[in-house]
Chain A
């Protein structure tokens, strides 16, 4: 007879994964991205009827050094007959972000907002233990804090 049931064994494996450095790093990234996704959803819900702006899931698989292989949910935001894809590119990013307000922050995650051939890049930074996201315009490389108003501007720009 095995000492553990299958369920207990799965629980233990899950706990081991969470406790490993790789597991912690991955969990941290997934939590941060989940926060961003939730913000995007709620900002859009606050502004309009969810039926007029449907948001669909688009799962992607990533395989990053120090995080391993994982599945992560991207989004497709539909407005009229246009759509913008929210694509989580990864936790590991080269470079830093220099916001107009000053300072330089190491990027700790990247999410692309794509529509056809155009895109904006969202960079996650960690400031005083909090996730702070910035949007970078892919043509002029302007950096702005990622806010509800900025999301609206980006969607209007990409879909116009």
Chain B
């Protein structure tokens, strides 16, 4: 199950490798005479042609990079929302005025399902450049998720997205550690 950026990156690399291997298998080996007998005996493979393998591999590869960016950002989003919610809960006193309690509930709802751009904006004070880098990935993800309509945002490769999102998560962790140490000291 994919639950971290590393998992998402590993998934992307596995799918890409498999697609490329299948393409190569189709291009170079599938039609070999010495393979014909073994493939012909297999219920699944006897009806698969080399061109079918290559077409499937191409179909996967055509959209794979964009889907990987979408996946990476979605994983980061889930992690950041979870962490932000926990940080808010941990930073509050146990007893709250009802008005504050209501405001906190609204805030938690915003963190949970509101615009992710608003959530990352909260980190601007810590590292504005890094937040903007994540926002560029977010804008690219949004276009992919909404059917690639309208002007193209800055082009993002999965590699660049993985690098940026990993650095953001690391920075978030550093801030969380410093905050926790500060609370312990006081």
Contacts and interface: CB of A to CB of B under 8 A. Distances in A.
A121 interface: yes
B152 A90 contact: yes
A110 interface: yes
Given A64-B152, A118-B20, A94 B57 contact: no
Give the one of B60, B61, B155, B163 with max A CB within 10 A: B155
Interface SS, B side: helix
Nearest to A117: B61
Give the one of A64, A92, A95, A141 with max B CB within 10 A: A95
Contact of A116 (B57, B151, B154): B57
Contacts of B151: 63-65
A36 interface: no
A89 to B, nearest CB: 5
B58 A90 contact: no
A116 B155 contact: no
Contacts of A90: 152, 154-155
B150 A63 contact: yes
Q: Interface residues of B toward A: which range?
A: 20 to 34
A37 interface: no
B159 A141 contact: yes
A155 B154 CA distance: 27
Given A94-B136, A94-B140, A95-B160, A117 B58 contact: yes
28 contacts: A62-B152, A63-B151, A63-B152, A64-B151, A64-B152, A65-B152, A65-B153, A90-B154, A92-B154, A92-B155, A94-B137, A94-B140, A94-B154, A94-B157, A94-B160, A95-B163, A95-B164, A116-B23, A116-B54, A116-B57, A116-B58, A116-B61, A117-B20, A117-B23, A117-B58, A117-B60, A118-B20, A118-B23
